[in-house]
Amino acid sequence: MRRISILGATGSIGQSTIDLIARAPDAYRVVALTGARNVAQLARDAIRLRAEIAVTADDASLPDLRAALAGTGIAAAAGQAALIEAAARPADWVMSAIVGAAGLAPGLAALQTGATLALANKESMVCAGPLMLATAAQHNARLLPVDSEHSAVFQALRGEDIATVERVIITASGGAFRDWPLERLATATVREASSHPNWDMGQRITIDSASMFNKALELIETREFFGFAPSQIEVLVHPESLIHAMVGFRDGALMAHIGPHDMRHAIGHALHWPHRTDLPVARLDLAAIGALTFRAPDHARWPALRLAAWVMDLRGLAGAAFNAAKERSLDHFIAGQIAFPDMARLVADVLDRMVNDASLLSAPITLDNVAAIDHLTRIMVDEAKATLA
The CB-of-388 to ligand NAD minimum distance in angstroms stands at 26
Residue 323 found at the interface with ligand NAD (CB under 6 A): no
Residue 12 found at the interface with ligand NAD (CB under 6 A): yes
Residue 49 found at the interface with ligand NAD (CB under 6 A): no
What would the DSSP string read from start to end of 44-110?
HHHHHHT-SEEEES-GGGHHHHHHHHTTTT-EEEESHHHHHHHHTS--SEEEE---SGGGHHHHHHH
Give the C-alpha separation, 120 to 97, whole Å.
5
Q: Which does 87 bind (CB under 5 to 8 A by kind): ligand NAD, Mg ion, none?
A: none
Residue 53 found at the interface with ligand NAD (CB under 6 A): no
Interface characters, 182-201, with ligand NAD (x: CB under 6 A): -----------------x-x
Residues that bind Mg ion (CB under 5 A): 147-149
User: What are the counts of helices (DSSP H) followed by strands (DSSP E) for the chain?
Assistant: 17, 11
**CA quadruple 99, 368, 133, 115: dihedral sign:** negative
Name the residue with the smallest CB distance to Mg ion: 147
The CB-of-9 to ligand NAD minimum distance in angstroms stands at 6
User: What DSSP element (H or E) covers 178?
Assistant: none
Total of chain residues touching ligand NAD, rule CB under 6 A: 28
Residue 122 found at the interface with ligand NAD (CB under 6 A): yes
Name the residue with the smallest CB distance to ligand NAD: 11
- Give φ, ψ of 206 to 5 degrees: -70, -45
Give the C-alpha separation, 36 to 366, whole Å.
25
Give the C-alpha separation, 310 to 294, whole Å.
24
**From candidates 205, 219, 305, 321, binder to ligand NAD by CB under 6 A:** 205
Residue 374 found at the interface with ligand NAD (CB under 6 A): no
**From candidates 43, 86, 99, 360, binder to ligand NAD by CB under 6 A:** 99
Which of 238, 235, 244, 231 is closest to 299 using CA atoms?
A: 235
The amino acid at residue 171 is T
Give the binding site for ligand NAD (CB under 6 A): 8-14, 35-36, 38, 57, 83, 97-99, 102, 120-123, 147-148, 199, 201-202, 204-205, 263
